[in-house]
């Protein structure tokens, strides 16, 4: 695999890196390699010093030697994650997902063929390589002997610059990446002319967004993918699929992967919502040192419970409809907020939105909608959102009953909304 490095002082200056390595020689080698890429990094010699340095001023990236004396890299990493969990109010403990590359590379090799990636391809990922989606783009390149163009850090302007300089044939993005670029007017037909495909994954992609990007592509297809750290690529649309399929679904199962939908442990007919379950050769065997969560994650017949709500049509295409943990239990009636969220996101005054459960003494939970307003929008009322949903034929039961206007949506590094953080804000006394 070839690599194109993007030595960009502007992007490098925004990334804080710490090297934790007890060997002076290895420490110097790491610092010199980072310097060649335009990064200035700090260095410490043990895990305890790494914890202290990160507590004083958090780093974006920490390169940790696992076998350091005293506090090892493993232990320091877990302590950092525990501290971040306490800060963000995350309710679920982090789980380790060990997977041998003998599972991921065949999945990538077979997927590369169906995505028509070959040794002439140039792949660019806006998703970081610390995320499975970014790693999948690397695995595709490894498998097909393709070239990877590197984007040290994401911003709409930096992605646009990388598209101009590297002329990739394949682009890996999340919906938030494309939305931001469109809003800033950075996507043009000339800029996207080299692309044979844009693969969108990471969160729900509104069909209107997929179509908007497609209209700017002279000779390529907008595709969608669904995957997880536990299995890599689970399903994706293929080049040449019908546009309606590519805009509204995440396609058919990846090679050597099986998918099914069940509700209350029972199979459901096609086009019926339920929990998406998967099994296949790329699936992990279980969570690291966590037999309890592993047992709960698998069915008795060996299928993995993804936690995603979905339906599968007669052709095998998967349409994701939400997450089980996002379902709002309003007085015993369980409501999936995904369709209401998608419509509110299209409101002319809304830049970003998320619906989460708000505690309620009578019903248990009610729907609360957090909104970031677009520039120029001065006000938005709950009544405005409800009228918008009524006009678009969304049942009253799914309307939000509370509106919170915020300046910025809390996002993970992979551009997913941190709904746990929003729910934590609602649980705090005012």
pTM: 0.71
Among 33-47, 157-171, 276-290, whose mean pLDDT is lowest? 33-47
Q: What region does 232 belong to: left with phi over 0, alpha with psi -120 to 50, or beta? A: left
**Closest by Cα among 344, 336, 342, 337 to 372:** 344
Which has more pLDDT, 138 or 33? 138
**Burial readout 115-133 (b: 16 or more C-beta within 10 A, e: otherwise):** bbbeeebbbbbbbbeebbb
Choose the weakest-confidence range: 85-89, 349-353, 411-415: 85-89
As given in the structure block, the two tokens for residue 360 are 């309620």
Note the CATH number of domain 101-322. Answer: 3.40.50.12780
- The CATH architecture one would assign to domain 327-427 is 2-Layer Sandwich (3.30)
Gap between the Cα atoms of 255 and 241, Å rounded: 16
What is the rounded average pLDDT of the residues 306-323? 93
DSSP 8-state assignment for residue 302: S
Q: How confident is residue 88, by pLDDT bands cut at 50, 70 and 90?
A: very low
pLDDT above 50: residue 158: yes
| 373 Cβ contact list (under 8 Å, min separation 6) | 349, 350, 351, 380, 405
Closest residue by Cα to residue 230 from 165, 158, 305: 305
Of the pLDDT bands very low, low, confident and very high (cuts 50, 70, 90), residue 3 is very low
CATH of domain 2-88: 3.40.50.2300
Q: Which helix (H) or strand (E) holds 324?
A: none
Coil, strand or helix at 144? helix
DSSP string covering 70-133: SS-HHHHHHHHHHHHHHHHT--SPP------HHHHHHHHHHHHHHTT--TT-EEEESS-TTSHH
Measured CA angle at 164 (ends 203, 345), to 5 deg: 30
For 162-188, what is the mean pLDDT?
94
- Give residues with Cβ within 8 angstroms of 158, minimum separation 6: 8, 10, 11, 151, 152
Give residue-wise pLDDT tens across range 344-385.
998 999 999 999 999 888 888 999 999 999 988 878 999 999
Q: Is the pLDDT of residue 53 over 90?
A: no
Comparing 2-88 with 327-427, is the CATH topology the same?
A: no
Q: What are the boundaries of each domain within the chain?
A: 2-88, 101-322, 327-427
The per-residue pLDDT for 5 is 41
* Lowest pLDDT segment from 13-27, 97-111, 172-186, 387-401: 13-27
What's the confidence (pLDDT) of residue 84?
62
Q: Which of 204, 197, 193 is nearest to 419 (CA)?
A: 204
Strands 328-330 and 318-323: unpaired
Higher local confidence (pLDDT), 14 or 241: 241
The upper half-sphere exposure of residue 299, i.e. CA atoms within 13 Å in the direction of its Cβ, equals 20
Mean pLDDT of the chain: 88
**Between vectors from CA 342 to CA 340 and to CA 343, what angle results, nearest 5°?**
65
Q: Exposed, middle or buried: residue 53 (CB in 10 Å: 0-12, 13-18, 19+)? A: middle
Scan for tokens 């700017």, then name that residue.
Answer: 216
Which tokens sit at 304? Answer: 């993995």
Query: For residue range 416-427, what is the model confidence (pLDDT) as tens digits?
Result: 788 888 988 887
């Amino acid at each position: 695999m070839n690599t194109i490095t993007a030595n960009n002082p502007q992007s490098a200056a925004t990334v804080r890196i710490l090297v934790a390595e007890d060997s002076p020689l290895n420490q110097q080698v790491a610092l010199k390699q980072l310097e060649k890429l335009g990064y200035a990094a700090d260095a410490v010699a043990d895990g305890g010093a790494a914890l202290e340095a990160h507590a004083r001023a958090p780093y974006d990236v920490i390169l940790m030697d696992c076998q350091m004396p005293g506090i090892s890299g493993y232990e320091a990493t877990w302590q950092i994650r525990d501290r971040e969990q306490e800060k963000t109010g995350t309710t679920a403990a982090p789980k380790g997902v060990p997977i041998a590359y003998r599972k991921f590379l065949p999945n990538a090799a077979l997927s590369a063929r169906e995505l028509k990636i070959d040794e002439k391809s140039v792949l660019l990922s806006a998703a970081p390589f610390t995320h499975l989606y970014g790693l999948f783009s690397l695995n595709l390149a490894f498998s097909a002997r393709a070239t990877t163009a590197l984007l040290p850090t994401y911003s709409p302007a930096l992605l646009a610059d990388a598209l101009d300089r590297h002329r990739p044939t394949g682009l890996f993005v999340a919906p938030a990446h494309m939305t931001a670029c469109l809003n800033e007017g950075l996507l043009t037909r000339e800029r996207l002319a080299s692309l044979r495909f844009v693969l969108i994954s990471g969160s729900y992609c509104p069909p209107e967004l997929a179509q908007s990007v497609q209209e700017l592509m002279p000779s390529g297809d907008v595709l969608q993918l669904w995957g997880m750290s536990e299995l890599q690529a689970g399903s994706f649309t293929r080049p040449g699929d019908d546009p309606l399929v590519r805009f509204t679904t995440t396609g058919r199962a990846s090679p050597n992967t099986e998918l099914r939908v069940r509700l209350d442990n029972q199979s459901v007919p096609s086009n019926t919502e339920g929990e998406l379950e998967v099994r296949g050769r790329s699936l992990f065997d279980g969570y690291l040192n966590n037999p309890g969560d592993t047992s709960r994650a698998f069915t008795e017949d060996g299928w993995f419970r993804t936690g995603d709500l979905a339906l599968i049509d007669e052709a095998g295409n998967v349409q994701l409809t939400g997450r089980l943990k996002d379902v709002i239990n309003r007085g015993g009636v369980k409501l999936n907020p995904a369709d209401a969220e998608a419509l509110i996101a299209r409101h002319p005054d809304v830049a970003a939105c998320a619906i989460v459960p708000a505690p309620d003494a009578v019903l248990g939970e009610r729907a609360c909608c957090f909104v970031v307003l677009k520039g120029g929008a001065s006000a938005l009322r709950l009544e405005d959102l409800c009228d918008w949903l009524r006009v678009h034929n969304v049942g009253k039961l799914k309307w939000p009953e509370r509106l919170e206007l915020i300046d910025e949506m809390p996002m993970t590094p992979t551009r997913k909304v941190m709904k746990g953080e929003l729910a934590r804000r609602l649980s705090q006394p005012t």
